[in-house]
Amino acid sequence: MELLDLLGRRWALRVIWELRGDTGLTFRELQTASGDLSSSVLTGRLRELTDVGVVARDQSGYVLTPRGRELLDLLLPLDAWARKWARSKR
C-alpha cells in the first residue's frame, strides 16, 4: 500500500509520465515538462520515487528504472481509458 499512497500524492504520476521517454531528463527539463511545478515539490517526489526504486539518476538525468518502466506499462491502459472517457464527455 505504500507505493499506492505515494502514487496518490500530487505530481508523482506526472513525474513518472514525463520520464517515459528513452532519454533521461535533467531536473530543469523535468520541472518544465511537468508544468513548472515548484522545485521543492519536484525534489520531494524525485526523492520518494527514488527511495522506492521507480526513478534513478544517471549521467543523462532522471530516468525510470526497470521497476518504473513496469509501472508505466501498467499505467498505459489507464491513460487509454482516460482519453476514451474524456472524448465521451464532449
Q: Quote the cell numbers at residue 77.
A: 491502459
| Domain ranges across the chain | 2-88
Residue 14 CA: distances (Å) to CA of 38, 55, 79, 80: 13, 13, 12, 15
pLDDT in tens, the chain (90 residues): 587 888 888 999 999 999 999 899 999 999 999 987 999 999 999 999 999 999 999 999 999 999 999 999 998 898 899 999 999 987
- The structure's pTM equals 0.86
Assigned CATH topology for domain 2-88:
Arc Repressor Mutant, subunit A (1.10.10)
- Phi/psi of residue 2, nearest 5 degrees: -60, -45
State residue 7's pLDDT score: 86
CB 6 within 8 A of CB 17: no
Q: Quote the cell numbers at residue 66.
A: 526497470
Alpha-carbon distance of 13 to 19, in angstroms, equals 10
Task: List, in sequence order, the alpha helices (H) in 1-65.
Answer: 2-7, 12-18, 27-33, 39-51
